[in-house]
């Protein structure tokens, strides 16, 4: 059973930073493609960033240069460092995992089998 536990959300002023964490098991961390999605009220869930087992990454155009996805292998954790936050980044952020996704392909929510409970990010 794949479990993903997000943490690190909160409220911040525009221009500020937050770091999100997604904790998983060693098996999940070393086997699955991991990604971050977000969903704002009234909007569809959208991909933010993804990372594969080898450390290759992909990003949505809206966050390139501001967000960085990375791995903490000691903690089986995927991190999302978010800098230069904007009000439009306000959303519930979700961690997701899937074994079949290939890095560099579009981040499509329906392709992911496993999801965390989400963590709220509010930028004012």
Helices (H), the chain: 26-31
Give the CA distances from residue 44 to residues 38, 68, 72, 108, 110, in Å, rounded to whole numbers and listed in that order: 9, 22, 29, 11, 12
User: By C-alpha distance, which of 61, 58, 56, 63 is closest to 93?
Assistant: 63
Centroid of chain to Cα 117: 12
Q: Tens-digit pLDDT profile for the chain (124 aa)?
A: 889 999 999 999 999 999 999 999 888 888 899 999 999 999 999 999 999 988 999 999 999 999 999 999 888 999 999 999 999 999 999 999 998 888 888 899 999 999 999 999 999 9
Burial (CB count within 10 angstroms: exposed 0-12, middle 13-18, buried 19+), residue 106: exposed
């Amino acid at each position: 059973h794949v479990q993903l536990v997000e943490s690190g959300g909160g409220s911040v002023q525009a221009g500020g930073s937050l770091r999100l964490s997604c904790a998983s098991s060693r098996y999940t961390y070393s086997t699955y493609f991991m990604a971050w999605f977000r969903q704002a009220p009234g909007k569809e869930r959208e991909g933010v960033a993804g990372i594969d087992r080898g450390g290759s990454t992909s990003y949505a155009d809206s966050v390139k240069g501001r967000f960085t996805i990375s791995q903490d292998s000691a903690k089986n954790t995927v991190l999302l460092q978010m800098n230069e936050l904007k009000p439009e980044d306000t959303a519930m952020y979700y961690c997701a995992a899937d074994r079949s996704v290939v890095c560099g392909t579009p981040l499509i929510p329906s392709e992911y089998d496993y999801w965390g409970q989400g963590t709220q990010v509010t930028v004012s």
